[in-house]
Structures are given as structure tokens and as C-alpha cells.
Structure 1
């Protein structure tokens, strides 16, 4: 996500949250191939590589940011150039919690997110559950279709 997609303060990156997100994905997802940070000295992004992706994709990556202000971005991109992302940040194009749908994750296509929780572990579990549902069914509409994730589905 580019900084020009944001209006208002995102806040400094919160490394303990990125570490928690990494640990949860490692615990929850057998397709995690590798994890790492964009910079080992001053990380601003967690990168999670997956050994498979949605649909015809044979690999995927999640680029994740989480700030001290509990703002976040979970950006998915795969080998077929499919992009989507869940964001929480001030902006001029949508509610603070929003979803940029596939295939481009365009700023102009943002829609309200079905994720209402804000705690790092719950948001991570919600994103994972929806990714996993889309992966298992091949249905990209499952990405932003939960009611009260990670607790329920509609």
C-alpha cells in the first residue's frame, strides 16, 4: 500500500504486533514457506511467503504493516498478479476499516471491511480464516464475506 492511499496518521510500525502476526500465521497455516522483514534493522513490513496461492497461483505473499495506533494493512499478491488487501487507516475513499478487492486491490474500489475487531490476534485470525476459505473453495468472494470474523460467517 502506498502512503498516498492514507489520509491522516498511520503511526510508527509496532514490531511486537508483527512478531505476533508472524507467529500466528506459522501456527495456523501449513502453506507458510518463509517469513521475514523488509529491513532487519528497522522493519516496516512483515512478509509471509506461501507455497501456493488462490486459484491458479502457485505462490503468494502477504505484506503486512501494523502500527502503534492499531492501523494495519494485510496486502496479498500472488504469482498470477492477483492483489487484495484489508486495511485500517484514515483515508478519503472509504471507512477506516476497508477492503480492496481482487484482482487489483485498487484504491478507488475500496469497500467496507467485514472485520470489525481491532486486536492484533483477532484481526490476524480473521484475515487468515477468510484467506483459507477462499483458498479451499476457489471463491474470491469469500475474502470479505464473513459476519463478525473471526467468530462467525454469514
Structure 2
């Protein structure tokens, strides 16, 4: 899902991205960073959709693919500000392959904790609970980084 998004934004970026669109994308990224900080609340980013699909009798590969697909679509609002930043970078470059590559790196970064957690779930579950008290700090740091990315995008200083 994410690599396809990156490919599409990279391809479309060649057609649509110019200085005006880059500045608008930067402003949107900054707004998403402010949302991440909790300064403003964008209700449409807080919505949840639930779809139930019965996969009994289907192959395990199909179930794993379908679970990953729906999980990535369901998590898109949670990671929206960061995803928007990467998509803006992909579109700004104007290359479909660059966009797909950026999203592949993004997906690898997103998937790595999940893979590690699944391999070492029992031990990590015990240790990760200690991080829960710091989740607010992680959210603030993430929001500030998103805002910095938006400013860099507006000023065309991402290189």
C-alpha cells in the first residue's frame, strides 16, 4: 500500500509539483505537525472505520496479505503526518521510482519494530510497558520533527 502511494506521488509529482504546490504541501505538513502536538484537533484524522471480512477457509498467505493490507490502511491516519511528509518529498522529486524507493525505506522503518517485536514478543512486552509513561514525550518530539520537515519543505531546503 505504502510503496504504491510513494510510486504514485513520485509519478504525479513530476506533473503537479511546482513551487506553489511545494509551499502548500509544506503548510499542510506543518498543520499536521501542530495536530500531532495537540495544539489543534482535526477530527477527520481521528475517525476509525471497521470492516469485517471472513477469511475462514482461505489460505494462510491470503489471510496474512489481507491482514497487512487492512492494517496499513487502518494505520494511515495514525501515521498520517509522517506519511504526508514522505509523500510530499516523493512528489517534490518528480520521479516515480524515487517515490517508491522513499516509501520502501519508510515501510522498512515502520515494519522493523513490528518484526522485532514479533520475534522477541515475550521479553519486549515486559520492557515496552515502561515506555508507556513517555508516549506523550514521543508524540511531542514527533510533532516538532514534522513541523521542521514542513518548514524545510516550504523553504526548499530538504536537500
TM-score when scaled to structure 2?
0.28
Q: Over alpha carbons, which structure has the higher Rg? A: 2
Higher normalized strand content (fraction of residues): 1
Higher normalized helix content (fraction of residues): 2
Greater relative contact order, per chain length (Cα 8 Å cut-off, separation 6+): 2
TM-score when scaled to structure 1?
0.29
